[in-house]
Amino acid sequence: MTLEELVDALPINKAKSLGVSRLMQILMNSAFFIKATISNNDPENMGYWFTSASRLLLKDEPLSVTPFLLALLDPALTEPWHHLSEWFENENPTPFATKHGKTFWEYAGQEPRLNNFFDEAMASDAKLVASVLISDCKHLFEGLNSIVDVGGGTGTAASEVGSSYNETLIVLESDIQYAMLLGGFGIVQGHGGGGWDRTPRHDGGGLFGDGGEWIKMKLDEGDE
């Protein structure tokens, strides 16, 4: 798409189209778009094209992480950053608690909108991570007859991994409503729990770290 086509497609004041050019330059420098030849018959006719990073933000892409991005940009999560100075001076555990007067989990439990978009965000992220686990990290599952997905949310990662490793029992440890929802899916069994409660006996476990990485835990028999 050329710059002219992009400006025409956007619902903006056309007098401010110069700002679109500058914005696209920033996005290209951030590797979200590249300049590409639009027509083989006219090498000088240049436009913008997607990169691997920007494709992950397309709603129709199978591994889209758009819900994750929208969650990060939601005012409920961005406004606490404006309270950092106040947070350093008080006893609250996080800037989120300083802004909202409660922890994230307490707030989510009382605000269905936040709870829903958080579930959608984590599900989109889990699907992307699970695709990498399945394609590039098969060795993680060698020798395991059962795995517990600790704090597995809506069960996206458990379902994705379970569908690719039929010989491995995937146990989802999550809120009881999600555990019950997935409880009859054969290779994926539901188990209610808060993520740090006692988990069912298993060969290995997995959970997401603070940075979004998937952590595998190999447990010896008798461990919990």
pLDDT at 5 over 50: yes
- pLDDT more than 70, % of the chain: 67
**Contact (Cβ atoms closer than 8 angstroms) between residue 147 and residue 168:** yes
Domain 140-218 has CATH 3.30.70.20: no
Question: Mean pLDDT over all residues of the chain?
Answer: 78
Residue 221 has pLDDT above 60, yes or no: no
Kindly give, in sequence order, each residue whose CB lies less than 8 Å from that of residue 159, ignoring residues fewer than 6 positions away: 170, 182, 185, 188
Res 20: pLDDT: 95
Q: How many CB atoms lie within 10 A of CB 20?
A: 15
The larger pLDDT score, comparing residue 118 to residue 189, is at 118
Banded model confidence at residue 34, pLDDT cuts 50, 70, 90: very high
> What is the distance between the alpha carbons of residues 128 and 47, in angstroms, rounded to a whole number?
29
Residue 180: per-residue pLDDT = 37
Q: What is the pLDDT of residues 134-176, one digit of tens each?
A: 888 877 777 767 666 666 667 777 777 777 766 555 555 555 4
Bridge-based pairing state of the strands 146-150 and 42-50: unpaired
Is the separation of the CB atoms in 159 and 188 below 8 Å? Answer: yes
Per-residue pLDDT of 110-144, as tens digits, reads 999 999 999 899 889 989 988 988 888 877 777 76
pLDDT, average across residues 96-114: 94
